[in-house]
Every structure is written in C-alpha cells, then in structure tokens.
Amino acid sequence: MDRVRAAGRGPLVLTGIGGAGKSALAVRWLTGLRAEEFDGSLYAVLGGPATPADVLEWFLISLGVPPEQVPLDEDRRASLYRSVTAGTRLRVLLDDAVSARQVRPLLPAGDGVVVVTSRALLSGLALDGAQWVHVGPLGAADSVRLLESVVGRDRVTAEPGAAEALGRLCGGLPLALSVVGARLATRARRPLEWEVDNLGSEQERLAALALSDDLSVGAALDLSVRGLTEPLREAYLLCAWHPGRVFGAPVLAAGAGVAEAAMAARLEELREAGLVMEVADERYTLHDLVRLHGRGWGDPAVVRDMVEWYLARSIAADLAVHPLRPRIGPGFTGARALGSAQEALAWAESERANVRAAVDAAAERGWDDLVWQFCEALWGRFLHTRRYAEWIDLQRVGIRSAQRCGDVRAEGRLRNQLAYAYSQLGEVDSAAEESGRAMELARSCADGLGEASAWEQLGLAVRGADPGRALHCFRHSRDLNARLGRTRAVALCRRRIGEVLADQGDLGGAAEELTAAAAAMAELRDPTQHARSVALLARVELRKGDGDRARRVLADAVAAMRELGSPYYTAEILAALGDAAHHDGDGVAAVSAWTEAAELYESLDDAKASTVRARIDGVHPHRT
C-alpha cells in the first residue's frame, strides 16, 4: 500500500472477497500514517448501500458545515464538499463500497489519502486515477500468527499441526480464522484439535464457522450474493459446482444453456462483485470457502451438464489426435474433431486437471456410463504424455464403472488400455493378466476388434522375456485385423513385428516390416505413427551402417513431432537422433539431442530419462 500510494494520487482501492480483512487492513494502514500530515479524517460505511447524498451530508457536517446549510440536492452537496475540501489534506476511508458511482462524489478535492474497500473491482474509478491492491487469503505462516494473536502463542505452539490445519480449513481467510480464534479464546480448555475435527467435514464447514449473527463467514458471503440478478446467481452456482478449481466461460455456458459470450459477460460481473478471481486470461477460480458457500445456494444437477461437456470435448480432442482409431463409446457417434491435432493436444493439456475432476465427479455420483467413456476418450492424450500412474488409476476406475454398467465390451477395451500401460512399465505379469482377461471378455461377446487388441497387448507384455511368443502374438493380431479390414491396426502390428525382428538381429526382415508400416501410416495420414515407424527404421539403417540416411529421416521426424506438440514421441525420436549422431562421431550433436530428449522424458516423469542420461555420461563421464 505504501508503494501504491507513492505511485499515484488517486484513491487506493482494496478489493477481495468478504472476510479477507480489507477493512481491518485499511484502518491499520491509515492509522499508521503520521497524523500531523493531515487536517482530519473521514470514515463512512457504504454497504447497505448508503446513498452518496446521505454520506455527503454527514461528511459536510463533520467538516464544520452547519446542518441547516447543507443543500438538499446531491449534486449541490457534492459541489460544496469539493469546495470545503479544496486545499486540505484528509485521510478518508470509504468502507464496503458497492459501485464507482457511489464512491466518486465522496472523493475530496484536496491532496490527502483516500482508501476504498470493496468486494467489487470498481473499475470505473480508473477515470479518477485509482490504484488497486488485491487482498488475498493469508499464507500458512500468517494464518498461524493470526491465531496466536487471538488465542495466545502458548496454545498455538502446543499444537502446531492443529494450528496449521485450522489455517488450511479456513482457507487463509482472516474472518474465518477470527471466528475460530474467538471461539477458542472463550474456551481456554478446548484443544485446537477439537476445532480441526469440527471443521473437518466440508459440508458442515460454513455452518461451523458461525460465532454470532454479526460475525459469520456465511453472512459475509451472503452480503456479496444478495442483490445479484437471477442470471448472475445462476452463474455463481455454476462456478461453485464446477468440478475443477479453474474454469472458463465455455463449460459454464454449457451448464446454463446460454451463449459463451453471455456467460463471459456474467463472469466479468461476478469478478467485479468480488465473488470470482481471475487467475489468467479468461480463466477464473473461487476461494475454497466461497465455493462451499455457493454450493449451498442450489441444486447440484448442473454438475452433469458440465461433466458431459468435458466428455464431449475430450471425445472431440481424441478424434483430432487419433482420427483413425476405432471407438466403441456412444459419445463418438456423430462427434466432430476439435480442430487440429496440435490444438486438441493443447486443449487436453490445459484442461487436464478439470477433466480428471469431471471423471471423479461422475464416479462419485454413479454416472458409470460417462466414466468409462472418459477412459476411452483420453487415450490419445495419454499416448502423447505417458503419465502412467495417472492412467493406470483412471483405467481401474473405468473398469469398475464398465462392470457396473454390465458392458463387457467396454471393460475389455479398458483392460487392453491398462495392459498397455503395464507393459510399458515392464510389469509383465500385470500386463499379461489384463490382456488375458481382455481376450476372454472379447471372446465372450464376439468382439473381434477387442480380441485382436488383446493379442497385440499380450505381445507387448511378453516381448522382453519371450520375443518368439511376442512375434506369434503380433502376427496373430495382424491376421485378425486383416480379416476385419483394419488397415491401420495391421500397420501397427507390422511395426511391432519389425521391432522384434530388429532386436533378434534380422535387420533385413525388420527393414521390410518397418518400411511397409511407414508407407501405410503415410497413406493413412497418421503423422504420429508414421514418424515412429520412420524413427525405428532409421535405427535399423544405422545398425546396417547408413548413418547419413538415418539422421536425415530422424531430423524430419523430429520436426513433425515438434509441430504436432507431442513431448513423448519427440523425446523418443530425439534419443534415436542422438544415437545416429554418436554413431557418426558427432558428439556435440549427439549430446544436444540426448539432453533435450532426457529433459522431455523428465518433464513427463518417464524412467527413460535415466537411460538417455546414461548415454550422455558415456560420452562425458565426468559431467556433473
């Protein structure tokens, strides 16, 4: 506040949600200024709201104007107020302002200090040279300090864990902490842990944070919501029931059944009202206690609409990333791709937390038909990020949902996806178990596609321990897919066959299979699988001694994956490019490619990072 005051002469506006401590902060700061610098102080509570005319009357009388000389008209009172305050230095606190229109007539004409507090942003005061300071929640350490100031340091230091827990449960809101602290202060024998238990139930937290009628977190937030129009109350309800922490207008618009532009305007009004916080461009969030408060204002039926929106968008993104993959989820029927593959991957990454929150919300409410469809729709994102732990957990949730739905085909699909993750992590037994179960399920419902996938996954599971068996599995899957007319699946199997043949030293056979796979993927316009096939073929060519050709095709593949925005496959091809450069004796290029590959793997928490780092250390054994 000191810095903001020094930067300009307009009013200083403190904004934040109810209970954040704006008024206390304003009083503390203003009283800390040297009194001798000012000719006097004025203070008014504008909530209610108080009319500018009423406040002007009180200010004029406080400044020495006889009551009988105070004009009846607001405009004339404002003119007199400006005349009286001209040439003076006043400390003015306009507390709990509702609008810029309410504040503007109360700004003195002299060269003093004006502080305005408001739940709303009061952006209209920019015309008056206003400077803004947002008063957010307290951090952990300051929350504990506030408790100490109310209940005493000895009690807090005796239960440090409970004190920190109270700070978290109160969301760092000074009002909430003060309510709890006041309750503890009047009950000297009550342990802090008792209050932790009392506030531990999220559904009852707001009710428990009531000390009296005039000091209640719920009451403070009620003041913010009171007076909102019905569309704004609906938007507030949607914000509170949104599955994730950060949201934008599109998902709320889907929940309300209105245009995105209309919802964007409502969010801006809620931001002005101090009920939502903008955390990025057109992205918003709620304080934890505000969210709880909002959830007490309506029916959570709106959650399903928002969950279905995230499912529909995930389906659209998956269609853009992997347009040729066969799907079984009903949501894919008639769905359209979400722009380009790059745009779809960018959306999936930006909404990752919200999509998982949507899955969890669906699982909690028993919407099993939506849960397993999410698992299928997120396959493309998983392949490009390889967050294995997250994926395995998601598939387990989805499998249980498919079982409750009685959908054998869906359960088999998800078990195949789970088997793939296990095989990539080297958990052979788990991968074989899941693919075997998927095969049984596919046969039980005559799902040829599922059976072919299960043979492929079983091959991946046993490839390291039994290459011969893996070849049998891949060839069996290839033949099943060929009978089903699945050209892309046949090409994938040929790529996998080429990998195994290369491992066995059959470089000619490997080159034949990989060349065929790359040609098929190019014809199908699948950039990811084409680049992967080319990268594997380059490794074979490198082993055959043609380093120049290997580096050329790998460089093209890296460029394609960078453009696509796929960190996992970019890392995979960069690692191969480093190998090719090392083979040609180009140590600088090798280390550069390996380093970038390792960094990408590390950003994905993939264990391959250590393997690539070992190659760098092999070239520079004394690197630290």
> How far is residue 326's CA from residue 186's CA, in Å, rounded to a whole number?
66
> How far is residue 14's CA from residue 130's CA, in Å, rounded to a whole number?
10
List the structure tokens of 389.
């732990």
Cα dist from 2 to 8, 113, 212, whole Å:
11, 11, 35
Query: Which carries the bigger pLDDT value, residue 565 or residue 89?
Result: 89
Q: Are 461 and 432 in contact (CB under 8 A)?
A: yes
Residue linked to tokens 């955390």 = 279
Integer-rounded Cα Rg, in Å, for the chain is 32
Query: Which carries the bigger pLDDT value, residue 624 or residue 420?
Result: 420
Per-residue pLDDT band for 211 (boundaries 50, 70, 90) equals low
Q: 277 forms bridges with which residues in the sheet?
A: 285
| pLDDT tops 90 at residue 473 | yes
Q: Are 567 and 349 in contact (CB under 8 A)?
A: no
Give the pLDDT confidence of 569-605 residue by residue, as tens digits: 889 889 989 988 898 888 899 999 999 999 999 888 7
Determine the average pLDDT of the residues in 440-456.
96
Query: Which carries the bigger pLDDT value, residue 624 or residue 112?
Result: 112
Residue-averaged pLDDT of the chain: 91
Query: Which carries the bigger pLDDT value, residue 207 or residue 155?
Result: 155
Residue linked to tokens 């807090």 = 156
> How far is residue 94's CA from residue 106's CA, in Å, rounded to a whole number?
8
Residue linked to tokens 């700061």 = 29
List the structure tokens of 317.
């993104």
Per-residue pLDDT band for 621 (boundaries 50, 70, 90) equals low
Q: Say whether 137 sits in a helix, a strand or coil.
A: coil
| pLDDT tops 80 at residue 244 | yes
> How far is residue 391's CA from residue 381's CA, in Å, rounded to a whole number?
10
Residue linked to tokens 């008792």 = 194
Which pLDDT does position 624 carry in this prediction?
Answer: 43
DSSP label at 406? Answer: T
Which pLDDT does position 417 carry in this prediction?
Answer: 97
The pLDDT > 90 percentage for the chain reads 65
CB atoms within 10 A of CB 226: 8
Per-residue pLDDT band for 447 (boundaries 50, 70, 90) equals very high
> How far is residue 375's CA from residue 398's CA, in Å, rounded to a whole number?
6
273 contacts: CB under 8 Å, gap ≥ 6: 119, 120, 224, 228, 232
> How far is residue 216's CA from residue 222's CA, in Å, rounded to a whole number?
10
| pLDDT tops 70 at residue 68 | yes
| pLDDT tops 70 at residue 215 | no
Cα dist from 286 to 229, 247, 295, whole Å:
19, 9, 12
Of 475, 519, 480, nearest in space to 497 by CA: 475
Determine the average pLDDT of the residues in 3-28.
90
Q: Say whether 81 sits in a helix, a strand or coil.
A: helix
The backbone torsions φ and ψ at residue 575, rounded to the nearest 5 degrees and listed phi first, read: -60, -40
Determine the average pLDDT of the residues in 534-557.
84
Each residue of 56-91: b (16+ CB within 10 Å) or e?
bbebbeebebeeeebbeeeeebbebbeebbeeeebb
Which pairing describes strands 246-247 and 283-285: parallel, antiparallel, or unpaired? antiparallel
Per-residue pLDDT band for 200 (boundaries 50, 70, 90) equals confident
Determine the average pLDDT of the residues in 25-45.
95
| pLDDT tops 80 at residue 210 | no
Give the pLDDT confidence of 424-433 residue by residue, as tens digits: 888 999 999 9
List the structure tokens of 165.
């827990």
Domains of the chain from N-terminus onward: 2-134 (3.40.50.300), 140-221 (no CATH), 227-300 (1.10.10.10)
Residue linked to tokens 């969890």 = 360
List, as own/partner pairs, every contact residues 552-556 make where C-beta atoms lie below 8 angstroms and the sequence separation is at least 24, other chains included. Answer: 554/580
Query: Which carries the bigger pLDDT value, residue 541 or residue 264?
Result: 264
> How far is residue 349's CA from residue 337's CA, in Å, rounded to a whole number?
16
Which pLDDT does position 266 carry in this prediction?
Answer: 96
Residue linked to tokens 């008056």 = 128
Which pLDDT does position 539 carry in this prediction?
Answer: 84
Cα dist from 299 to 32, 295, 309, whole Å:
47, 8, 18
Residue 44: HSE in the Cβ half-sphere, 13 Å Cα cutoff? 27
pTM for the whole thing? 0.75
Which pLDDT does position 249 carry in this prediction?
Answer: 97
The backbone torsions φ and ψ at residue 111, rounded to the nearest 5 degrees and listed phi first, read: -105, 60
* Dihedral-angle region of residue 276 (phi above 0 means left; psi in -120 to 50 means alpha; beta otherwise): beta
Which pLDDT does position 214 carry in this prediction?
Answer: 56
| pLDDT tops 90 at residue 334 | yes
Determine the average pLDDT of the residues in 157-168.
95
Cα 456–Cα 459–Cα 464 angle in degrees, nearest 5: 150
Which pairing describes strands 131-134 and 210-212: parallel, antiparallel, or unpaired? unpaired
Residue linked to tokens 């316009």 = 525
Each residue of 442-456: b (16+ CB within 10 Å) or e?
beeeebebbbbbbbb
Least confident interval from 282-296, 391-405, 457-471: 282-296
Which pLDDT does position 216 carry in this prediction?
Answer: 61
Alpha helices, DSSP H only, in 159-216? 160-169, 174-185, 192-199, 205-208
Of 107, 85, 109, nearest in space to 94 by CA: 107
Q: What is the DSSP string of 182-193?
A: HHHHT-TT--HH
> How far is residue 39's CA from residue 84's CA, in Å, rounded to a whole number?
12
> How far is residue 236's CA from residue 248's CA, in Å, rounded to a whole number?
13
Q: Are 213 and 270 in contact (CB under 8 A)?
A: no
DSSP label at 51? Answer: P
| pLDDT tops 50 at residue 222 | yes
| pLDDT tops 50 at residue 356 | yes
Residue linked to tokens 């009710």 = 207
> How far is residue 492's CA from residue 526's CA, in Å, rounded to a whole number?
11
Per-residue pLDDT band for 220 (boundaries 50, 70, 90) equals low
Query: Which carries the bigger pLDDT value, residue 583 or residue 457?
Result: 457
